[in-house]
Structure 1
């Protein structure tokens, strides 16, 4: 992170993926795909946390360095900035179900960095962004198809 000028940064996003207790495998296919995105220059990983929320709502946060077997993630572990503070962890874990495990990924969208830099140089700034869950897109397409069959 330190070798990149702030003016050259792309948009930074985060995501949280949650698994029921005992069903997570962050070092398998998920790790392989994340490393592929990094190696392809699509994203730069800024921080990764593993959160565990017990049945009473107590949160345990683990950095990658706290995990003995990283699998493919060992290739990106040394570059992490550990950006998230304790307050961030509490806020992120609020979305989790008790008894679950979640992975938190903070990443820079390298693919968008040139556009973001050009926008800032032109005096523009990002004022909103969002994400449409794939489940919502699928539901919308299925509803349209049902409507066409019934009405058409």
Structure 2
């Protein structure tokens, strides 16, 4: 592919957020923050899904664009050009990690802020060799450990 034909596409990430039964407190705050990221052009939502595990162990996946339930319906505006990247096997894998009554939200997004950089790398013949993420919980634990050492 010629350099001028390389599409301007940023890296694509996903996450799965778990909401244990009895601890679900959907206020819409997270949805508002996601909408801000989309409006600012930081990300482009490619796919979103809710996965629920029934008390009987059954697993149900619902694409956000199929839902108009309360605050979730507002995410329809964020889910642009739905790619439907998530498949039945993804639903099954997420559902297998849930306890009965739990719900998980799966989000797939393009990092549009990184698209120009990623495109420039591809035009130069570069390719991504590795990627990773340090979980927030690990950072918080490290910060707490450092504070404990300083206080000792």
What is the total number of aligned residue pairs between the two structures? 145
Q: Which residue of 2 aligns with 1:133?
A: 135
1:74 is displaced (CA, Å) by 3.1
Q: Which residue of 1 aligns with 2:39?
A: 39
Secondary structure in 1 aligned to 2:78? helix
Maintained 8 Å contact 1:42/1:110: yes
Secondary structure in 2 aligned to 1:37? helix
TM-score normalised by structure 2 residue count:
0.83
Query: Per-residue displacement from partner, 1:90-149 (whole Å, max 9, x unpaired)?
Result: 233333333210110000001111111111112221122222121211111111121123
- The yes-or-no answer on 1:108 pairing with 2:78 is no
Query: Per-residue displacement from partner, 1:58-104 (whole Å, max 9, x unpaired)?
Result: 21000123323344223234632211111222233333333210110
Question: What is the alpha-carbon root mean square deviation over aligned residues?
Answer: 2.1
Shift in alpha-carbon separation, 1:146–1:84, aligned structure 2, 3 A: same
Runs of 4+ that moved beyond 4 A? none
Q: Which residue of 2 aligns with 1:59?
A: 59
Shift in alpha-carbon separation, 1:119–1:44, aligned structure 2, 3 A: same
Shift in alpha-carbon separation, 1:61–1:6, aligned structure 2, 3 A: farther
Q: Unpaired segments of 5 or more residues in structure 1?
A: none
Q: Which residue of 1 aligns with 2:48?
A: 48
Distance 1:6 1:93 in 2: 37
Secondary structure in 2 aligned to 1:51? strand
Q: Which residue of 2 aligns with 1:73?
A: 75
Shift in alpha-carbon separation, 1:72–1:139, aligned structure 2, 3 A: same
Maintained 8 Å contact 1:24/1:101: no
- Give the stretch that moved more between structures: 49-58 or 97-106: 49-58
Maintained 8 Å contact 1:48/1:63: yes
